[in-house]
Amino acid sequence: MTTKSKIFIILVLGLSLALLTSSCNQSVPKHTLGLALCLTGSLSNYGQHFQEIAEMLQDEINDQGGFSDGGKLDLVIRDDGTNPQQAVQVDTDLVNNAKMPAIMGHCSSGATIPASAVTIPAKVVLVSPSATSPRLTTLQDADYVFRTAPSDALQGVLLAKLAYDKGYRKISIIARNDAYGGGLATEMQKAFERLGGQVTKIALYEENATDFASQITEANQDNPEAISIISFQEVVPLLTQMVKLGVTKFDLFADGTKDQKNFD
């Protein structure tokens, strides 16, 4: 089981206990938790995995008799489609219609940040299991928005140090043009330049891109010693196109590509 999966289990249990505390005085106990996950779209593999874990825990809690007050855990699940606009619509529904006291979501920073504009004024707790953008750290959230994954401000420093320790002094970056990719690329650039290195280019591509030729050319044009890749499952066609173009100096992969099947 991955570290993120273990943290997600703790998150579900923690929010469930919080709901228990807040509803003990009700004559008919009801412990409802909203899940706003990327069940479709580019990050659906993450969202579907999180849903499976949450439902497994729901069954385990309820099969053992539920909570101490006799109430059972009920999950209200919505799909944000890995889309910021849909995420806002989902949270609006969960807050205004389903009356959720807490929402677990979203998978991406690009969905979590705009959705928080709905949950914060409503004083609904929003907890993301995987949003990593540094922007979440400085979000004016009145202490209603949380995440269990570390900020990319930390990963950017580590990627920069890794690059420097491997002897690279001149690199470029290819990244997704979203809160995750752009944020992490910027943090990596700042950290690498503090070490004395040079980032020649940050070439951004759109989330649904399938042709990466222009980004590959841009990242390679100043002859960097290595090209860092900040992506998700689209790393496969990206690397395939890099090899076809004769650009094989890719290295320094971010956490979004952490799946062995991407490299088999």
Q: What is the pTM of this model?
A: 0.80
pLDDT in tens, 191-224: 999 999 999 999 999 988 999 999 999 999 999 9
Segment holding 31, helix H or strand E: strand 31-37
Among positive and negative, which fits the CA dihedral 174, 241, 257, 114?
A: positive
Distance of CA 61 to the CA centre of its chain: 26
| 43 touches 82 (CB < 8 A) | yes
Count of CB atoms within 10 A of residue 45's CB? Answer: 13
Domains contained in the chain, CATH given: 3-147 (3.40.50.2300), 152-262 (3.40.50.2300)
* Cα gap 91→111, rounded to integer Å: 10
pLDDT in tens, 124-154: 999 999 999 999 999 999 999 999 888 999 9
What does R_g of the chain's alpha carbons equal in angstroms?
Answer: 20
The predicted model gives 150-177 an average pLDDT of 96
Mode of pairing for the β-strands spanning 198-205 and 250-253: unpaired
